[in-house]
Structure 1
Amino acid sequence: MNLLLDTHTHTVASGHAYSTIIENAKEASKKGLKLFCMTDHGPKMPGGPHIFHFGNLKVLPSEVDGVEILKGVEANILDRDGNLDMPEEILKKLDVVIASLHDVCFPYRDVESNTEAMINAIKNPYVDIVGHPGNPLFDIDVDKVLDAAKEYNTCIEINNSSFVASRVGSYENCLLIAKKAAKMNVKICVGSDAHIAFDVGRFDKALEVIEKAHLDEEFIMNTDVDKFKDYLRSKGKLLNR
């Protein structure tokens, strides 16, 4: 399976990432990607960017080194109500929004709380992708989360970094999520979650999960730029592009 775009990448603005947007674009071009999403952490992440970072994304070009760039955020889910660390007036201007649970921003640990928080974030009309839902720090009711993702037309992420650089112990959780998503025809986005340019477009372990889960290419948004952009348009994004 050939993946042509990366839906989850970070720049130095995230505070604990090490490459610029230009360096990421050059690496994406080198690897033959047609598009990637710039999704720096939301402002509640320690060391993360100020809200002005997201308000000023309009100054970025839409293409660098022949690779299209979508401007977004990996927003932090803050509570059981699914509130994010980004105001609505910023969210509605972004091309793509990932919502994720991070232990430094979300204090709960029981299955009910984690599941409720994730589902409420999924219900947010500005959220397009649920980030790394297989994180073993946050046990969830997989069936309930996938039911919500399908109902609200929200993608579930397979996060390559979870298998190689962070969130140790994610593999079996992610494989289970992928297998259930395959049966339910839930939309999938594959993200490198790159925190350095060399990892942009790195999908090796994610592809292994995709193969084992027998996910249908039709429901993987990374195989075609137009398919991904049409998905975002169905969520009310990119309407002027």
Structure 2
Amino acid sequence: MLMKWPYAPLPRTDIHTHSEFSKCSVDTTVLGNITAATLKGLEVIAITDHARHVLEAGFEKYIEKILTLRESNSTGLTVLTGLEVDIKLDGEPELSRRLLKKLDVVIGALHNLPYVKSSVESYRDIMVRALRSNWFDVLAHPTYVNMQNINLPIELIYEVCEEARENSIAIELNANHKSPSDEFIKACIETDVTLTPVSDGHILSSIGAYDWQFQTLKRLNILKYVKWLTVDDLSKRKK
């Protein structure tokens, strides 16, 4: 029987977690994440390490590790294979789409943006291209770029949200970076964008810990209006 879930009505899912395959992991591992998810009462967890780190360690080795532990898990927890993949400046993924097709979930993340006067316009161009390209399921921390939270013009926020909705891409509520901003979250609700809570966990204790998401949605008085991502939604990406 699942333990009491303190964050209802948030879903019991965490589809953005890191393991020993990410160099930035503190104490997370594939097995540790699965165990932590079970203890927290989650129903779904995805292992989504940084693509560039996984390529260095070996893509097939990575997938095999997750699948082996998935097959040996008898708790009822759904374990998904995934990656956090950098969005390049042309909106394309940092690795082959052929490899992406082998994954259950792909997180697209814009980590770096050139420091130029037209950075807002660059953000728009990159995001629109990426959201229309159909290679990822979830957009990671949309207001956390260049290792900081950024302020986006409200009209750009709505444009990104509308592109996400039209292309069936969810936007994550990221506890690690406390992203996106209040304005972005409210725009997601108004444009009927699908959302998903994630830990972006690099520390075991953070897996499935959604205090920030729960309190933010409660403060904004929009908890009951959120459209949540389901596992079935992940099948919409062309494979």
Provide the TM-score with structure 2 as the length reference.
0.82
Change (3 A) 1:199 1:65: farther
Q: 1:12 aligns with which of 11, 17, 20?
A: 20
Q: 1:68 aligns with which of 68, 78, 87?
A: 78
User: Which residue in 1 is equivalent to 2:177?
Assistant: 162
Is it true that 1:234 corresponds to 2:236 in the alignment? yes
What CA distance in whole angstroms lies between the structure 1 residues aligned with 2:31 and 2:74? 8
Change (3 A) 1:230 1:153: same
Is the CA contact (8 Å cut-off) linking 2:93 and 2:135 kept in structure 1? no
Q: Percent identity?
A: 29
The two structures, once aligned, show a CA RMSD in angstroms of 2.1
Find the residue that maps to 2:208 and give its secondary structure.
coil
What CA distance in whole angstroms lies between the structure 2 residues aligned with 1:151 and 1:23? 36
Is it true that 1:209 corresponds to 2:223 in the alignment? no
Letter in 1 for 2:210: F
User: Which residue in 1 is equivalent to 2:59?
Assistant: 54
Letter in 2 for 1:112: E
What CA distance in whole angstroms lies between the structure 2 residues aligned with 1:8 and 1:41? 10
Find the residue that maps to 2:135 and give its secondary structure.
coil
What CA distance in whole angstroms lies between the structure 1 residues aligned with 2:87 and 2:115? 11
Count of aligned residue pairs for this structure pair: 216
Find the residue that maps to 1:181 and give its secondary structure.
helix
**Residue correspondence of structure 1 range 127-142 to structure 2 within 5 A:** 127-135=136-144, 136-140=148-152, 141-142=156-157
User: Which residue in 2 is equivalent to 1:96?
Assistant: 105
What CA distance in whole angstroms lies between the structure 2 residues aligned with 1:24 and 1:82? 30
**Residue correspondence of structure 1 range 165-176 to structure 2 within 5 A:** 170=179, 174-176=181-183
What CA distance in whole angstroms lies between the structure 2 residues aligned with 1:49 and 1:160? 23
Provide the TM-score with structure 1 as the length reference.
0.82
Is it true that 1:178 corresponds to 2:185 in the alignment? yes
What is the CA distance between 1:82 and its match in structure 2? 0.6
What are the Cα deviations for residues 36-83 of structure 1, in whole angstroms up to 9, with x where unaligned? 11100121xxxx23266334414523353622211011101121x212
What CA distance in whole angstroms lies between the structure 1 residues aligned with 2:134 and 2:126? 15
Query: Which structure is larger by alpha-carbon Rg, 1 or 2?
Result: 2
What is the CA distance between 1:212 and its match in structure 2? 3.2
What CA distance in whole angstroms lies between the structure 2 residues aligned with 1:108 and 1:129? 25
Find the residue that maps to 1:162 and give its secondary structure.
coil
Is the CA contact (8 Å cut-off) linking 1:111 and 1:138 kept in structure 2? no
Find the residue that maps to 1:185 and give its secondary structure.
coil
Is it true that 1:87 corresponds to 2:102 in the alignment? no
What is the CA distance between 1:126 and its match in structure 2? 2.2
Change (3 A) 1:230 1:100: same
What are the Cα deviations for residues 195-223 of structure 1, in whole angstroms up to 9, with x where unaligned? 021111011101122223414456112xx
Find the residue that maps to 1:99 and give its secondary structure.
strand
Q: 1:189 aligns with which of 187, 196, 211?
A: 196
Is the CA contact (8 Å cut-off) linking 1:146 and 1:181 kept in structure 2? yes
